[in-house]
A and B are shown apart, each in its own frame.
Chain A
C-alpha cells in the first residue's frame, strides 16, 4: 500500500436532487422483474432532538433472494433520499441468507453534519450472524426491521435515545 485514502468529507446540504432520485426501486432489471419476494423498506431518520431530517441520502447494497451478490437478474444497489418528514422508501427483493450471514441489507448514510459516511445494517430477525454478534446484545434489536402492513419499517436514529448502532470498518 502506497497511498492513504482521500479524506472523506460531509455530503453537505446541497446534494443534487437529480442524483438522489430515481434509484429506489430495485425490483426491475432491464424491464424484467427480479425473482423473489417484493418488499417495501421504509423508515424515518431523526437526530438528537428527535427532529426528522430532510434530504438524507441513503444507499443500500444487498444479496438477491438466494443470497447471491451481482446475480445477473438482480441489481442489489439502490439510493433514496428522505422527504421533509424524514422518511425514505425503497422497493426491493427480500434478500436471502447465505453461509453464516442472516438475511440483511447494508445501509450507507450521507448527510450534512456527518463528517463522513455512516454504515449500518438492517436485519429481518435476530439470530446468529458474525456482524450482528459484534453489536452489544442490548442494542441488537435496533437493527431488526419491524414488519407491518406496509412492508418492513427500519427507523434510524443518528444520535440520542434508542440510537441506531453504526459500524466502523
Chain B
C-alpha cells in the first residue's frame, strides 16, 4: 500500500458534529440509509487523491444570481462571502464550489419542485465558483424563502443555501447547507438539528456582517466551509 504523505491526515467523522442514519421526522431516511453498519476501510492512494484542476471540467458559472435593473430578482439582496478552509484553517485555493437555492418565494428552478409558489423569471438559482488564493468565494444573490416539505405534517425548511465543495482529496468532499441567523424555523428543522452538537450546529448558520461597512443595498453574510483533512496536500499518483 502506498504511504500517504506524512503531513496529511484525515480524522474519522465525529458523530456529534456529523449526522447520519435514520432521522425521526424525515421519513425518507428510513428507506434510504443503509441498515447494515458502514464498513471501515484503510486509506489508500485511491481515497487520498482527487482530480487536479477540477475547474477545467467544472468551470465557473454565473457569479451573480441577483441580476441588475429591470432584470433584478425579487427578494432581499445579499452578498455571500464564504471561505473554504481545511481542518487547520488553511485556505483551499482553487476549490470548486457549487451553490444552489430557491427563490424568495421558496420555489426551486428544479422540475421536481411541486411547491405551489411562483417562479421568478429573473432568478436562476444555481452558480459555480472557484475559490481564490484565500479560499474565498463571493456571490451576489437574494435571500431564499422558506417552504413547506410535502407530506410531512407541517415541516417547513428554513431559508438555506446548498453548497457542494471539493476539498483536497476524494474523502474531503463536502455537501452541506448554510442557514441564516435569527430564523425561528431553524429550531425545528430536521436537517439542521440532526447535528447533535450545538456548537457544530451553530457553525452552519452564517454571520451577518456589520451593515455600515458593506454595500449600501445588500446584507453581507460571512460563512466558513471546513473540508476534511489537514496538513500538506498529499502528492500521490
Residues of A within 8 A of B (CB): 1-19, 23, 47-49, 53-55, 59, 61, 63, 68-71, 75-77, 98-101, 104, 106, 108, 110-118, 130-131, 134-136, 139, 158-160, 163-169
Contact = CB atoms under 8 A, between A and B. Distances in A.
Contacts of B228: 5
A9 B108 contact: no
Interface residues of B, number: 85
Interface of A, helix, strand, loop or mixed by DSSP: loop
B34 interface: yes
Interface in B152-202: 162, 164, 170-171, 173-177, 191-192, 194-195, 200-201
Nearest to B172: A5
A159 B35 contact: yes
A48 B24 CA distance: 17
B174 to A, nearest CB: 6
B45 A47 contact: no
Interface of B: 1-2, 9-14, 17-21, 23, 26, 28-36, 38-47, 49-52, 54, 56-58, 61, 85-89, 98, 100, 102, 108-113, 125-126, 128, 162, 164, 170-171, 173-177, 191-192, 194-195, 200-201, 203-204, 224-228, 230, 236-237
Contact of A5 (B39, B40, B87): B87
Contacts of B98: 19
A9 B113 CA distance: 19
B47 A106 contact: yes
A1 B236 contact: no
A11 B128 CA distance: 16
A59 B201 contact: no
Interface of B, helix, strand, loop or mixed by DSSP: loop
Nearest to A158: B32
A115 B19 contact: yes
Contacts of A100: 1, 44
Contact of A131 (B44, B61, B162, B175): B44
A47 B10 contact: no
B186 to A, nearest CB: 13
